[in-house]
């Protein structure tokens, strides 16, 4: 008696390892919903915003309605989704544009997470439901002109004055800064502790001028935060955060989202290159028929597949509560540099069309230069991994 072999799923060039089959029904539903939103509402306007250097901040309400803002947080109007579902969302958003994923990362993983993890009950009730709904926007001020990779070197000061705190200093490169209703500002107190403060947009002494002329992440608002004798009450201080662990724990959340997001940007570039290669003819044949093009596509497929697999693995670890910060660094290290390589190679497949905004690849490649730098530069994640591997910290010479 002959036993027929089980039929194999079809090979999907955009998911060459069949990672999508590992998702459950709910995860697939989230993926398809976010993908559809990005295709229908965001992609038609992204080139215009990229060119103008703006972000369509009005879509915050849509993102809130879809339950995507702070979606992995529980309670206070947040969706309470799994870490994997949050990651899948980041992947689909960044397949649209890194600026879109950044908007959600900063809102959910940095500003909302900071309040959720380190805030008082009153602060959570006041801010989280409105932020989850997209009615209030948050930003996260850690980096300063002279303290980027080394936030311990921050100069922003918080001085106690009776019942109040007085904040003085400057933050730089702050995503959503000029459009934020509330800024999570990290400052050092007179006792040398790092504390977080919720500074509302119209507080006297506070301003958030836009930083112009970026060549990367153009469809995203980036700002300075100026704190000139800003007075806030004790109820504006995040009571549970008293060291650098406060802001660094938030970075861990956002870095996790970037692991997935970068896989999405890579997929989008590879998809554009594959589509172009199949239809563009030179020397009488589609350029996909030439071995040099196939080598590029195969290399992209391998990187896209590896990145998706790695992201899902880290997602499952995070949902199991066993994900370590070094493993998040592993993910950011691999997936962001892989995405950049895919984007640059995809750009060459498109020839001159690759340098236009009609196709997404150079927009993604340019964005990924910022992604390589923010949330810990590639070098910082190299050193974090180096320390985990050797037991020796090499951050200072």
What the block records as the tokens of 171 is 């933050």
> Which of ligand TGC, ligand FAD, none does residue 174 bind to, with CB < 5 to 8 Å depending on kind?
ligand FAD
Nearer to ligand FAD, 16 or 169 (CB): 169
**Cβ atoms of residues 227 and 206 within 8 Å:** yes
Taking CB under 6 A as the criterion, the residue among 29, 152, 357, 394 binding ligand TGC is 152
* Euclidean distance between CA atoms 47 and 273, whole angstroms: 18
**CB of 111 vs ligand FAD, minimal distance in Å:** 9
> Which of ligand TGC, ligand FAD, none does residue 251 bind to, with CB < 5 to 8 Å depending on kind?
ligand TGC
The answer to the question of residue 85 lying near ligand FAD (CB under 6 A) is no
The answer to the question of residue 370 lying near ligand FAD (CB under 6 A) is yes
Task: Classify 256 as helix, strand or coil.
Answer: helix
Nearer to ligand FAD, 127 or 173 (CB): 173
The answer to the question of residue 242 lying near ligand FAD (CB under 6 A) is no
Task: Classify 90 as helix, strand or coil.
Answer: helix
Residue 189's H or E segment, with its range, is: strand 182-189
The answer to the question of residue 374 lying near ligand FAD (CB under 6 A) is yes
Determine which one of 92, 94, 253, 375 is catalytic: 375
Residues of span 310-339 touching ligand TGC by CB under 6 A: 325
Beta bridge partners, 226, equal: 170, 207
**CB of 101 vs ligand FAD, minimal distance in Å:** 12
State whether the Cα torsion 70-74-75-79 is positive or negative: positive
234 included as an active-site residue: no
Nearer to ligand TGC, 277 or 372 (CB): 372
The answer to the question of residue 143 lying near ligand TGC (CB under 6 A) is yes
**CB of 98 vs ligand TGC, minimal distance in Å:** 8
Taking CB under 6 A as the criterion, the residue among 57, 170, 248, 385 binding ligand TGC is 248
The answer to the question of residue 377 lying near ligand FAD (CB under 6 A) is yes
The answer to the question of residue 106 lying near ligand TGC (CB under 6 A) is yes
The answer to the question of residue 140 lying near ligand FAD (CB under 6 A) is yes
* Euclidean distance between CA atoms 180 and 60, whole angstroms: 12
What the block records as the tokens of 284 is 């009488």
The answer to the question of residue 386 lying near ligand TGC (CB under 6 A) is no
Residues of span 188-217 touching ligand FAD by CB under 6 A: 217
Using CB under 6 A, list all residues that contact ligand FAD: 106, 140-143, 148-149, 173-175, 217, 222, 370, 373-374, 377, 379-380, 395
Using CB under 6 A, list all residues that contact ligand TGC: 102, 105-106, 140, 142-143, 149-152, 175, 243-245, 248-249, 251-252, 254, 325, 374-376, 380, 384, 395
Tell me the catalytic residues: 375
């Amino acid at each position: 008696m002959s036993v027929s072999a089980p039929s194999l799923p079809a090979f999907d060039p955009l998911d060459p390892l069949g990672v999508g089959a590992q998702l459950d029904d709910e995860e697939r539903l989230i993926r398809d919903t976010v993908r559809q939103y990005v295709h229908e509402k965001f992609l038609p306007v992204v080139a215009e915003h990229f060119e103008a250097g703006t972000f369509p901040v009005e879509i915050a309400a849509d993102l809130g309605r879809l339950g995507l803002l702070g979606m992995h947080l529980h309670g206070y109007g947040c969706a309470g989704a799994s870490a994997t579902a949050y990651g899948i969302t980041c992947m689909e958003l960044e397949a649209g544009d890194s600026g879109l994923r950044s908007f959600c990362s900063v809102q959910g993983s940095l500003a909302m997470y900071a309040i959720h993890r380190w805030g008082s009950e009153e602060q959570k009730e006041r801010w989280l439901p409105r932020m989850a709904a997209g009615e209030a926007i948050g930003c996260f001020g850690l980096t300063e002109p002279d303290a980027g990779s080394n936030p311990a070197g921050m100069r922003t000061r918080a001085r106690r004055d009776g019942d109040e705190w007085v904040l003085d200093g400057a933050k730089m490169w702050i995503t959503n800064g000029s459009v934020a209703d509330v800024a999570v500002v990290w400052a050092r107190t007179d006792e040398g502790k790092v504390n977080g403060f919720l500074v509302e947009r119209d507080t006297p002494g506070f301003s958030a001028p836009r930083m112009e002329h970026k060549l990367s992440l153009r469809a995203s608002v980036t700002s300075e935060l100026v704190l000139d004798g800003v007075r806030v009450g004790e109820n504006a201080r995040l009571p549970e955060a008293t060291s650098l662990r406060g802001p660094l724990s938030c970075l861990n959340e956002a870095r996790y989202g970037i692991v997935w997001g970068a896989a999405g940007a890579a997929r989008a570039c590879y998809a554009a290159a594959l589509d172009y290669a199949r239809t563009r003819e030179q020397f009488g044949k589609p350029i996909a028929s030439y071995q040099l093009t196939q080598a590029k596509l195969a290399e992209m497929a391998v990187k896209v597949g590896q990145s998706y697999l790695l992201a899902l693995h880290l997602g499952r670890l995070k949902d199991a509560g066993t994900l370590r910060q070094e493993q998040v660094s592993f993910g950011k290290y691999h997936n962001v540099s892989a995405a950049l390589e895919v984007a640059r190679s995809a750009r060459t497949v498109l020839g001159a069309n690759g340098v236009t905004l009609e196709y997404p690849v150079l927009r993604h490649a340019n964005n990924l230069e910022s992604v390589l730098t923010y949330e810990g530069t590639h070098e910082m994640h190299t050193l974090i991994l180096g320390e985990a591997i050797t037991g020796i910290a090499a951050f200072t010479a």
